[in-house]
Amino acid sequence: MMKHILMPLFSVCFLSAPLGAFGDDQDADDTDEFDVSEEILSIKGDPEYGEYLSGDCTGCHQVDGSYDGIPSITGWDEESFVWAMHSYKEKAREHPVMQMMAGRLSNDEIAALAAYFATLE
């Protein structure tokens, strides 16, 4: 007679990683509570590098700061710009396109873009 082997069917492993530490427990569009760390805010952006990267943005956002259905992002102070980009990157702010754009930028690249767009009137 064959031996009856009980398979460990309920071997689901509940990982209890501290997700909260990474902000993954944030509700969508919870921008009031969204915070960017001092470390990120203190990165000094290189405006020339930002100008180079801005080619990905200016197909939609106008360099002359005009509004054509897409918000103007020129002349912002750098902190607000960095905050806005990270709120998309961390998905605290909803918008599929901007979440995708911000999601593939590094912290240094976001700082560079902030520095560049701040110089535009």
Among the residue ranges 8-16, 26-34, 41-49, 96-104, the one whose residues contact ligand HEC (CB under 6 A): 96-104
Instruction: For the chain, give the longest Cα–Cα distance.
Output: 85
Note whether 57 binds ligand HEC by CB under 6 A: yes
Note whether 104 binds ligand HEC by CB under 6 A: no
| Single-letter code of the amino acid located at 58 | T
| First-to-final CA distance of the chain | 85
Note whether 61 binds ligand HEC by CB under 6 A: yes
Phi-psi region of 75 (alpha: psi -120 to 50; beta: other; left: phi over 0): left
Give the one residue of 29, 97, 103, 106 binding ligand HEC; rule: CB under 6 A.
Answer: 97
Interacting residues with ligand HEC (CB under 6 A): 56-57, 59-61, 70-71, 73, 81, 84-85, 93, 95, 97-98, 101, 113
